[in-house]
Amino acid sequence: MLLLRRCHSLTRFGPLNTQRHQVTPAVASCAARLCSSSSSSSEDHRSHQRVHSLSWKHALAGLLAGTGAVLAYGLHHQHKAERADTGVQTLKKSSSLPIFSQEEVTKHRSLEDGIWVTYKGGVYDITEFVAMHPGGDKIMLAAGGALEPFWALYAVHNQEHVLEILSDYKVGELNLEDLKKQQAVKSSDPYSSDPERHPVLHINSLKPFNAEPPPEILSDSYITPSAFFFKRNHLPVPQVDPASYQLHVEGLPGGALTLSLEDLKTRFPKHTITATLQCAGNRRSEMNKVKLVKGLNWGIAAISNATWSGARLRDVLLAAGYQPDVAQWARHVQFEGLDTDVTGTTYGASVPLNKAVSEEGDVLLAYEMNGEDIPPDHGFPVRVVVPGTVGARNVKWLGKIIVSAEESSSHWQQNDYKGFSPGTDWDTVDFKSAPAIQELPIQSAITTPADSATIDRSDGTLTVKGYAWSGGGREVVRVDVSLDGGKTWQAAQLRSGEKGQAPEPSPPPGRAWAWKLWEITAPLPPDAQELEIVCKAVDNSYNMQPDTVSPIWNLRGVLSNAWHRVKVKIRKDEEEE
Amino acid sequence: MLLLRRCHSLTRFGPLNTQRHQVTPAVASCAARLCSSSSSSSEDHRSHQRVHSLSWKHALAGLLAGTGAVLAYGLHHQHKAERADTGVQTLKKSSSLPIFSQEEVTKHRSLEDGIWVTYKGGVYDITEFVAMHPGGDKIMLAAGGALEPFWALYAVHNQEHVLEILSDYKVGELNLEDLKKQQAVKSSDPYSSDPERHPVLHINSLKPFNAEPPPEILSDSYITPSAFFFKRNHLPVPQVDPASYQLHVEGLPGGALTLSLEDLKTRFPKHTITATLQCAGNRRSEMNKVKLVKGLNWGIAAISNATWSGARLRDVLLAAGYQPDVAQWARHVQFEGLDTDVTGTTYGASVPLNKAVSEEGDVLLAYEMNGEDIPPDHGFPVRVVVPGTVGARNVKWLGKIIVSAEESSSHWQQNDYKGFSPGTDWDTVDFKSAPAIQELPIQSAITTPADSATIDRSDGTLTVKGYAWSGGGREVVRVDVSLDGGKTWQAAQLRSGEKGQAPEPSPPPGRAWAWKLWEITAPLPPDAQELEIVCKAVDNSYNMQPDTVSPIWNLRGVLSNAWHRVKVKIRKDEEEE
C-alpha cells in the first residue's frame, strides 16, 4: 500500500517503472557488480538481462553523469531551484524507529540485501525506489552511505518534495557516534567556486549549471556575447591555474607530448573561426510536450554563436607525431576535461580522426572566445571547439587528448547523446545500436515574437526573427516562414553578420560553421485574430526540417528540430487605446 | 476569342501564362537578344525585366536543355510516347491561306516582329503561344525556321494534341520551292543510334531516353544490374570510339593534358567504389500530385546502386599539375560531356574543387560499371562518378575537365537542378538565388508492397522492403516503418550487401556512398482491412525526412524526399479461396 502511494506520487516526475521486476538492465547489472563483494556467489535473478562491458570506472562515470539524473525532478520544479539551494526544510521525525550503526547500514548495498542510505541522521531503505529514481542508475552509488555528498553535487535534490519521498522510506536512525563522524567529514559544496552568472539567464539546472539566454537576445546579436552564451556544464567548474596548466597529447607513435598554455599560444599559429555551438537537447521542451523525456528542459536557446581563437588541433597532432599512416589504425580523437565527479572521473568525449586532422575540419584548441580569454563557464583556459559538431564533443577545461582506435568510453559518448526511434523506450533501448551524435541536423527557430504574445496591428505588418543553423559545415541557404500554420510560405532575409555591418565573408564549401540570423516583415492578414507562425530552414545539402515533433520524439529528447511554431494573438485596434 | 479557346485547351498541360504581357523574363530577354540583328535599336517594352548575363552559347544550351521542355507535354501523355514516334497524323489544311517565302518567314524571329515557324509546309505565327510553351524559352530557337529538327530532338512533340494546338496558329503555306529545299535537308533522327534497352524499364521519356526499373527490382539486388540501373539522358547517346577517345584536362598551371582511355587505365591506379546515384527528380510524381511541376514524372526508382572502377580524379588532376596553391583561386571542377544538342553545345556540370581533390572524396573517372565496360547509356567509355552527389553532376561520356574559379556556366548548373521555396513560381523564380544541388538529402522509399496492392492475410505478418540513402557520404543509420500512417514506428533491419552474403565492409566516416536496403516483417493488425505503410530514414548526421510533400514542393519538382507512403488492402480470409 505504501509502495502504491509512493508510486502514485512519483508519476509526477515522468514515466517511471513502478514494479520491482521492471528494474532497468543497467541498474540490474550495476547492482550485480556493486554487490559482488558481499555476495559474490549469489546470482541476481535479473542477470539474464544484458550486462554492459563497461569497466567499473566508466560505469561509475555513467552513474554520476548528471545528465538524466537530476533532471526529471527539475522538469516541474525549476522555479524552485535557486530557493532550494538554501538547504533542507524539514524531515519527519519518527523517534520510535530503531537505531543502526554505520557498519549495519554499509551492509545494505545490493538489491538482495536492500539498499540503505543515510541522510542527516536518518536511515532509509530505498530498495523499492531504485527502479523509480528519475535519474536512473546513479542512485546506486550512494548505497550503504550518506546522501549528502551526492545531493551537494546534484543539487536539484534539495527540494521539499524530494524529502517527502525520502521520508516514506525511513527505517531507523543512525547512532549518535557515527552521525558525529559523518558530520566531521565536511561535505563542502563542490559548486562553491562556480563563477557568477548573468541574472538574465534562464536556469534549467543550478548544480551543475545549465542555463540559456532569452531567445530575443540571440537574434539581436550575430555574435552572442559570452555572458549570454548558453551554459551547459555536466559537473562543477574546475579551478585551473593558467600558469601550471598542462595539456597532454597521447596515443601517437612519438610518445606523449605535454604542452603549457604558453606553448599552445606561441608554438602554433593562432587560428580564428566563427562557430555556432548547439546542445543536443536544444528545444527538448517541445518533445516533453509530446511525452516526457529525461533531460534538461531546454527551450529554444541552447544554441549560441561566438568567435573562437586558438591552435588548430591538426597542428598540435602533427607536432605530437601524427602522420597519415596513423589513420591506418586510429579512428578517433578522445578528449578528457579537467572537470571531475566525486570518483575523480573526468568528462570525456571523442570525434572522428578525419575531422580532427583535416585541414578543412577547423578543429581548435581554443584559448579565446569573442576576443578574450575563454570565461570559466566555457572552458578556461582551453576548450576544444569542433565546429559543426554537437556541443557535447566540444570538451571544456581540456586536460588530455588521446588518439585511439576507439571512441571515448565515457558515459556521454557511449550511453548518452544518441538518437533512437520514437518506438524505443527505456526497457528496449540498446545504446550500442545507435551512433554517437556528431554532426547535428538542420535547425531553426523563431526568437521573436514569443509564443502566446499579443501583437499590435499598428502598421499592419508583422516582423518575425530567428536563427537557423546546420551541422557539418552545411550552410543554411533558405528559411521559409509561414503565418498560417504551414499552408503558405515565404522566404526570409538571411544575415551572416551584425545588422547594418558587412556580412562575414562567404565560407568555403563544407565550412559554414556559423548560423544565419533571419528576418521577415509580412503584412498581417486583415481579419486575423490569431496567427500560427512557423519556420523551417534548408541547408546547402537541401536537408529540410521534419514537420512535426512526435515522429522524431526519442527517450532522451535530443535532436529536436521539427518546424518551430509560435502562436500569437493580434490585438484589435480598439484594444490599443 | 481564338486566343481564349487556345488558352483553355492549354490548361490541360499545367499552369501556364495565358496573357501576352505575362511573358516570362527569360523569354523576354532571350527574345530581345534574338531580335537584335533585325531591330537592334528598338527597345523591347519588357526590357525592364531582369536580363540574364549568360552568353549566347549558353543561352542556347539552356533553350535546348530538354529538361523542362518536353516534359509538361509528357506528364499526361507518356503512354503515347512510343506510338507518337511513328510520326505525324494529320494537319488541318487551309488552302485559302496566303503563300509565304522562307525569306519572309525568317524575318519573324522576335516578339515585336512576331514569331513564325514552319512545319511540313505550313507557316505558323506562334507569337501568342511563346509564353504558354510548357518547355519555356527553348521554343525561341525555332523562330523563323522549321520545327522538324527540334521535334526530332524532343520527340514528345509528336503527339496529336500538340499538332492540334499548332494548327490553331496557322497563317499560311510555305512556297513549294522553299519547301523542297527544306525537305532536301534530311532531318535524320539523332536518337537512331541510341542503344537497345531492356523492355522491363518504365519509360518516362523516349527521346532523350529516361527510364526507371520496377521498384521491386531495386530491393532484390544490393548491386543494381546495369541493364536495370535507371537511365537519365539529356541528349542522344553519343557514339564514342574507345581507340580514339581523348579526355582533355584544362585550367591548371601546367597547361592542358590530354589522356587516352589507355592512359586512364594504365597511368593511374584503378580504384573501385560502390556508390548509389540518384536523380534530383526521383519521386517527382509525388510532387505532381500536390501541384503540377515541370519535369519527368519519375516514380520512386530514379535511384540505383553499382560498383564503379576507374582512375581517381584527384590523381588525374595531380598529374595535370594540380597543387594545393591552386585552391587559392580555383573553386570548381567543370565537366563537359560528349553528348551535344543541335547547336553543338555539350552537356555540362561542375562540382566543388575540394570534393574533386580530396582523398576522401572518392571522385572517379570511371571506365567500369559492375565489373564491365560502362554501357553506352551510362557514359561509355568514361563517366565521372561523384559519390554522394546528385546524378546530374556525374557527367557521362566525359570529354573535358576544367579547373576553374567559376561553376559550370551550363544550363543544368545555372538554371536547373536547384531547389526553391514552395511559394516560388515561374514568375518569381530567380535561379541565382539558390545553390546548385550537389549533396542530396536523406531519402528512403518502400519498394514492396506496391501502392494499392492487395495483401493476403496468410500467416498474419507483412513484410515491407525498401531502400534508404543519404548524400555527402552520410551513412543511413536507421529506417523507421509505420503500418498505421505514422502514429507508431518500428526500426527496420538494414542491409549493406547481397542477401545471405557478408555485408560490404563498414565505410570510413563521411564515405558511405552506397545505399542500405531494409526490410521488416511485422504482425498484421488483426482486424485491419487497409494499411497505410510509411517509411522514413535517418542518416548519421541525424538528418530526418520531412513528413509531407506539400511544404517541400518546388516548381521543378526536385528533392522530393518526404516520408514515403503506400496504401494496401488486406484480403479477407474468405476471399483467398
CA A493, distance to chain mean position in Å, is 32
Question: Measured between CA atoms, how close is B435 to chain A, in angstroms?
Answer: 7
Residue A437 forms contact with B (CB below 8 Å): yes
pLDDT of B574 strictly over 80: no
Q: What percent of chain A has pLDDT over 70?
A: 81
Strands B202-205 vs B210-212: parallel, antiparallel or unpaired: antiparallel
Lowest mean pLDDT among A52-66, A263-277, A559-573, B434-448: A52-66
Lowest mean pLDDT among A448-462, A562-576, B116-130: A562-576
To test the contact with chain A by mutation, choose from B542, B554, B560 the residue with the greatest count of A C-beta atoms within 10 A, namely B542
pLDDT of B22 strictly over 80: no
Q: What integer pLDDT is reported at residue B342 of this predicted model?
A: 80
pLDDT of B60 strictly over 70: no
In tens, the pLDDT along A493-511 reads 999 998 888 887 888 889 9
What the block records as the C-alpha cell of A336 is: 578528457
Is A133 part of the annotated catalytic residue set? yes
Contact B422 A480 (CB under 8 A): yes
d(CA A218, CA B14): 44
Is A7 part of the annotated catalytic residue set? no
Q: Indicate which residue of A279, A332, A378, A474 is catalytic.
A: A279
Q: Pick from A352, A471, A489: which is nearest to B422 by CB?
A: A489
**What is the rounded average pLDDT of the residues B517-541?**
95
Helix B160-167 × helix B2-10 angle, to 10°: 160
Q: What integer pLDDT is reported at residue A30 of this predicted model?
A: 32
Residue with the bigger pLDDT between A160 and A223: it is: A223
- In DSSP notation, A195-257 reads PP--TTSEEEETTTTEEE--HHHHHH-SSPPTTTS-EE-SSPPP---TTT-EEEEESSTT--E
Q: Nearest residue of A to residue B551 by CA position? A: A486
Question: Measured between CA atoms, how close is A166 to chain B, in angstroms?
Answer: 37
Question: Measured between CA atoms, how close is A226 to chain B, in angstroms?
Answer: 27
Contact B541 A438 (CB under 8 A): yes
Residue with the bigger pLDDT between A15 and A480: it is: A480
Task: State the CB neighbour count (10 A cutoff) for residue A324.
Answer: 8
pLDDT of B40 strictly over 60: no
pLDDT of A527 strictly over 80: yes
Confidence band, pLDDT 50/70/90 cuts, at residue A443: very high
Contact B419 A546 (CB under 8 A): no
Is A157 part of the annotated catalytic residue set? yes
d(CA A478, CA A535): 10
d(CA B213, CA B514): 18
**What is the residue type of B1?**
M
Q: What integer pLDDT is reported at residue A186 of this predicted model?
A: 57
Residue A488 forms contact with B (CB below 8 Å): yes
Residue A56 forms contact with B (CB below 8 Å): no
To test the contact with chain A by mutation, choose from B325, B386, B421 the residue with the greatest count of A C-beta atoms within 10 A, namely B421
Q: Pick from B422, B435, B541: which is nearest to A540 by CB?
A: B435
Q: What integer pLDDT is reported at residue A67 of this predicted model?
A: 38
Q: What integer pLDDT is reported at residue B38 of this predicted model?
A: 32
**What is the rounded average pLDDT of the residues B31-57?**
33
Query: Which chain B residues are within 8 Å of A542, Cβ to Cβ?
Result: 419, 437, 439-441, 559
Q: Which of residues 518-547 of B touch A (CB under 8 A)?
A: 536, 538, 540-547
pLDDT of A512 strictly over 80: yes
Query: Which chain A residues are within 8 Å of B547, Cβ to Cβ?
Result: 546-548, 551
Q: What integer pLDDT is reported at residue B148 of this predicted model?
A: 81
d(CA A382, CA B299): 53
pLDDT of A24 strictly over 70: no
In tens, the pLDDT along A264-319 reads 999 999 999 999 999 999 999 999 999 999 889 999 999 999 999 999 999 999 99
Characterise B509 by phi-psi region: left (phi > 0), alpha (psi -120 to 50), beta (else).
beta
pLDDT of A114 strictly over 50: yes
d(CA A62, CA A345): 10
In tens, the pLDDT along B352-408 reads 999 999 999 999 999 999 999 999 999 999 999 999 999 999 999 999 999 999 999
Query: Which chain B residues are within 8 Å of A560, Cβ to Cβ?
Result: none
Q: Which range, B13-27, B149-163, B233-247, is most confident?
A: B233-247
Measured CA angle at B77 (ends B76, B82), to 5 deg: 155
pLDDT of A420 strictly over 50: yes
Confidence band, pLDDT 50/70/90 cuts, at residue B64: very low
Residue with the bigger pLDDT between B302 and B68: it is: B302
Inter-chain Cβ pairs, chain A and chain B, closer than 8 A: 119
pTM check: above 0.90: no
Q: Which of residues 88-127 of A touch B (CB under 8 A)?
A: none
Q: What integer pLDDT is reported at residue A168 of this predicted model?
A: 92
pLDDT of A331 strictly over 70: yes
What the block records as the C-alpha cell of A435 is: 551512433
Contact B438 A490 (CB under 8 A): no
pLDDT of A8 strictly over 70: no
Q: What integer pLDDT is reported at residue A94 of this predicted model?
A: 52
**What is the rounded average pLDDT of the residues A28-40?**
32
Residue B251 forms contact with A (CB below 8 Å): no
DSSP B132: G
Which run of H or E residues covers position A303? strand A303-312
pLDDT of A14 strictly over 90: no
Residue B387 forms contact with A (CB below 8 Å): no
Contact A510 B354 (CB under 8 A): yes
Task: State the CB neighbour count (10 A cutoff) for residue A189.
Answer: 14
Confidence band, pLDDT 50/70/90 cuts, at residue A349: very high
**What is the rounded average pLDDT of the residues A8-32?**
33
Residue with the bigger pLDDT between B112 and B35: it is: B112
Residue B179 forms contact with A (CB below 8 Å): no
Q: What percent of chain B has pLDDT over 90?
A: 66
pLDDT of A25 strictly over 70: no
Q: What integer pLDDT is reported at residue A415 of this predicted model?
A: 93
Mean pLDDT, rounded, of chain A: 84
Q: What integer pLDDT is reported at residue A31 of this predicted model?
A: 32
Lowest mean pLDDT among A61-65, A320-324, A420-424, A481-485: A61-65
Q: Nearest residue of A to residue B471 by CA position? A: A541
Q: What integer pLDDT is reported at residue B284 of this predicted model?
A: 98
Contact of B348 with B412, CB cutoff 8 Å: yes
Query: Which chain A residues are within 8 Å of B489, Cβ to Cβ?
Result: 421-423, 551
- Residue-wise burial string across A61-87, b where 16 or more C-beta atoms lie within 10 A, e elsewhere: bbbbbbbbbbbbbbbebbebbeebeee
Q: What integer pLDDT is reported at residue A224 of this predicted model?
A: 95
Question: Measured between CA atoms, how close is B363 to chain A, in angstroms?
Answer: 16
pLDDT of A88 strictly over 70: no
Contact B509 A352 (CB under 8 A): yes
Query: Which chain A residues are within 8 Å of B491, Cβ to Cβ?
Result: 421, 423-424
In tens, the pLDDT along A199-213 reads 889 999 999 999 999
d(CA A245, CA A382): 9
Report ipTM for this prediction.
0.77
Residue with the bigger pLDDT between A524 and B185: it is: A524
Q: Residue B397: what are its φ and ψ, rounded to 5°?
A: 45, 50
Q: What integer pLDDT is reported at residue A465 of this predicted model?
A: 98
d(CA A557, CA B547): 19
Which run of H or E residues covers position A276? strand A271-278
Contact A424 B355 (CB under 8 A): no
Contact A360 B352 (CB under 8 A): no
Confidence band, pLDDT 50/70/90 cuts, at residue B559: very high
pLDDT of B446 strictly over 50: yes
pLDDT of B101 strictly over 50: yes
pLDDT of B229 strictly over 70: yes
Shortest CA distance to B395 belongs to which of B355, B357, B338? B338
Q: What integer pLDDT is reported at residue A277 of this predicted model?
A: 98
Characterise A432 by phi-psi region: left (phi > 0), alpha (psi -120 to 50), beta (else).
alpha
Confidence band, pLDDT 50/70/90 cuts, at residue B425: very high
pLDDT of A2 strictly over 50: no
In tens, the pLDDT along B168-198 reads 999 999 999 988 887 776 557 889 899 999 8
Contact B546 A547 (CB under 8 A): yes
CB half-sphere exposure, A285, CA atoms < 13 A: 15
Confidence band, pLDDT 50/70/90 cuts, at residue B95: low
Mean pLDDT, rounded, of chain B: 84
Residue A557 forms contact with B (CB below 8 Å): no
In tens, the pLDDT along A314-326 reads 999 999 999 999 9
pLDDT of B90 strictly over 60: no
pLDDT of A439 strictly over 50: yes
pLDDT of A467 strictly over 60: yes
Q: Pick from B434, B438, B486: which is nearest to A551 by CB?
A: B486
Q: What integer pLDDT is reported at residue A305 of this predicted model?
A: 98
pLDDT of B61 strictly over 70: no
pLDDT of B112 strictly over 80: yes
d(CA A363, CA A383): 11
